[in-house]
Amino acid sequence: MTDSFRRIDYSIRPAKHAERRMLCDIFRKLAAFEPVENYRYVGFGSVWFADFTLFHRALGIRNMLSIEQAVSSKDRFEANKPFNLHIDFRMSTQALPEMGYERRQFIWLDYDDPLSPEMLHDVAIIATRARSGTVLVVSLQCHRAREIAEADRECARDESAATAEERFRTKFGNRIDPNIGREDLVGWSFGTLSRGIVISEIEASLETRRLANPADQVTFTKICDFEYEDGAKMTTLAVVFCSPDEEERLSMCGFDNLEFVEDPNLPVYIPTPKLTPREFRQLESQLPLAEGTELAIGHIPLGEANSFKRLYRYFPNFVVIES
């Protein structure tokens, strides 16, 4: 985790909150491998530790590790950490190679920034070591690639400077389509591109693992993707690793029955319904809808009401006090 905690209160971002709850539903399904309370959770807790609090309370996970690179704020992190969890104050590129991989884990690499080679290194470390039944979640900012600002700045001084897409291709090499354009480095298109590069890195890492030790090979299955924006556009990819002898356990997880996944070929878009507290209560009091009934939305915009109906179980409840 970078020092973004100085700018963002992760505990009140509604789409992020919903994503955490959806991940909780995903993690719960891993009971087909072993009781989820036996798993270890690894994440970037920031000073808020919202993910650690949820997964400990909802899933009973006791073994937890937070990786934090903001060493200058070490005392603040220690003062705010809930429960008896361990914090590793190093860069993820340093902590992940030395972390134990003997047990099954839920690992959430919740980055604040756009994709970088260092992030792919983290993904490769995990893919080449993770035990069967481990879930890897990778969240990335996809508002705009860094290379666009770099290119615009330099092209203003030198028209022959490399374009954004040329810089991106140089950085990520053969993992990307050589025909990508500037439009692929912005917004949801950039999110799709970023997830594809992460998938490519996982595939390459697993092949390296198989060649090094065929008896240790695992495959991966994509569980789902997320897209949301609490400010900047974000995207998330969730996969599970599985060895050949545990494929039956994987099939028992029932990832195809996740309530929030309507089309497994599309990312789950997490909206942020813009409702007043009164509208919130009006809709929630009718849900879940009885069979054959329609949601009475009154003056609430249909799009906002439908977004709320689809994912209301995952949205946070906020209390506003005015004096």
- Collapsed DSSP state (helix, strand, coil) of residue 206: helix
pTM comes to 0.91
Give the pLDDT score at 318.
Answer: 58
Q: What is the DSSP letter of 161?
A: S
Give the pLDDT score at 323.
Answer: 45
Task: Give the integer Cα–Cα distance in Å for 79 and 41.
Answer: 20
Task: Give the integer Cα–Cα distance in Å for 80 and 104.
Answer: 27
What does each C-alpha distance from 318 to 12, 109, 271, 281 come to in angstroms? 9, 27, 16, 11
Question: Which pLDDT tens digit goes with each residue over 44-84?
Answer: 977 888 999 999 999 999 999 999 987 778 888 888 888 88
Does residue 288 have a cis peptide bond before it, meaning omega lies within 30 degrees of 0?
yes
Give the pLDDT score at 4.
Answer: 54
- What is the token pair recorded at 173? 């090499």
Beta bridge pairs of residue 138: 109, 237
What does each C-alpha distance from 157 to 10, 42, 145 come to in angstroms? 38, 44, 20
Q: Are strands 268-270 and 219-229 parallel, antiparallel or unpaired?
A: parallel
User: Which helix (H) or strand (E) covers residue 137, if one does?
Assistant: strand 135-141
Question: Which pLDDT tens digit goes with each residue over 242-278?
Answer: 999 999 999 999 999 999 999 989 999 998 878 888 8
Q: Which residues of the chain have pLDDT under 70?
A: 1-12, 318-323
Give the pLDDT score at 232.
Answer: 87
- What is the token pair recorded at 117? 């080679």
Beta bridge pairs of residue 239: 136, 222
Which residues make Cβ contacts (< 8 Å) with residue 59, sequence separation at least 6? 24, 27, 28, 36, 37, 39
Give the pLDDT score at 147.
Answer: 93
